[in-house]
C-alpha cells in the first residue's frame, strides 16, 4: 500500500521563516496556488480517502485534493504539528544565531522539549498513533493521501532511515514523503520510506522507483523503540 504524506501549502509564517508549531495559520495566496496545483497533479483513481490534520493550513490543502479525487476527507487531531511552546512565532534564523545549542537540540535530540511544548518523541508517537488509525481503516486500499506538517514528517523520516540516507532538510511545502505499508502474518503494521521531498504525483506511483529502506514496525515508532528489519 502506498501512503503519500503531503506537507501543507505555504503560509505567511513559512514565507518569513518563523516557527509555526500549533498556531492555526491559514494558507496564503501562494499556499492556495500550491495546494491547487498539487491536487491537479495527483493521478485520478485508486485513492480511498484523504486524511489531514485539523489545522487550517493542512485541512485547506487536503480539501483541494479530496475534491479533485472525489474521496472523503477525514480530519484526525493526532496529525497536528509538533507543539513548539515558547518558540512559536519566533524567527528561525534569528533564534538559531542567538541560541545555537537549543536549536541543535530541537533538531537533533528527540527527547528535547521546548518550554511549554512537546518533545520529538512525544510528537512522533502521537503522529504515528494517528497514522496507525489511518492504515488500519484503509488497509485494503491501493493508496491513501495524508496531509500533515513538516516537523512531524521530519521526525517520522528520521526514524525510518539511518546514516547517509538521512534527509538533509525538511520537506518543502506541498512536497511529499512517500511510504510503503505492509502487514506481517501476525497483523502488525510496518512502514518503509520510499521517497523524500518528492512531487506528490511521483509518490503516488507504486513502481518502487525510490531507493529501498528497511521496514520498521509502526508500534515501535509509537513506543519509541525503533526496530529496522
15-18 own/partner pairs: CB under 8 Å, 24+ apart:
16/91, 17/91, 17/92, 17/93, 18/89, 18/90, 18/91, 18/92
Question: Hey, which residues are catalytic here?
Answer: 8, 81
> What CA–CA distance (Å, rounded) separates 162 from 151?
18
Which DSSP state fits 198? E
Question: b vs e for 5-29, b when ≥16 Cβ sit within 10 Å of the residue's Cβ?
Answer: bbbbbbbebbeeebbbbbbebebbe
Amino acid at each position: 500500500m502506498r501512503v503519500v504524506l503531503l506537507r501543507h501549502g505555504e503560509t505567511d509564517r513559512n514565507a518569513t521563516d518563523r516557527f509555526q508549531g500549533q498556531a492555526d495559520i491559514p494558507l496564503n495566496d501562494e499556499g492556495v496556488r500550491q495546494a491547487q496545483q498539487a491536487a491537479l497533479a495527483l493521478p485520478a483513481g485508486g485513492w480511498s480517502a484523504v486524511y489531514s490534520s485539523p489545522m487550517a493550513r493542512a485541512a485547506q490543502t487536503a480539501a483541494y485534493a479530496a475534491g479533485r479525487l472525489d474521496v472523503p476527507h477525514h480530519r484526525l487531531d493526532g496529525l497536528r504539528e509538533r507543539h513548539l511552546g515558547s518558540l512559536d512565532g519566533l524567527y528561525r534564523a534569528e533564534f538559531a544565531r542567538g541560541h545555537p545549542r537549543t536549536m541543535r537540540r530541537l533538531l537533533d535530540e528527540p527527547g528535547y522539549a521546548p518550554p511549554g511544548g512537546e518533545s520529538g518523541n512525544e510528537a512522533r508517537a502521537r503522529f504515528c498513533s494517528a497514522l496507525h488509525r489511518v492504515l488500519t481503516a484503509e488497509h485494503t486500499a491501493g493508496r491513501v493521501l495524508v496531509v500533515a506538517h513538516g516537523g512531524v514528517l521530519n521526525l517520522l523520516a528520521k526514524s525510518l532511515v539511518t546514516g547517509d540516507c538521512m534527509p538533509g532538510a525538511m520537506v518543502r511545502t506541498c512536497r511529499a514523503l512517500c511510504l510503503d505499508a505492509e502487514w506481517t502474518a501476525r497483523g502488525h503494521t510496518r512502514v518503509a520510506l520510499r521517497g523524500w521531498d518528492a512531487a506528490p504525483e511521483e509518490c503516488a506511483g507504486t513502481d518502487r522507483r525510490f531507493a529501498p529502506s528497511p521496514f520498521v514496525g509502526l508500534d515501535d515508532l509509537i513506543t519509541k523503540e525503533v526496530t529496522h528489519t
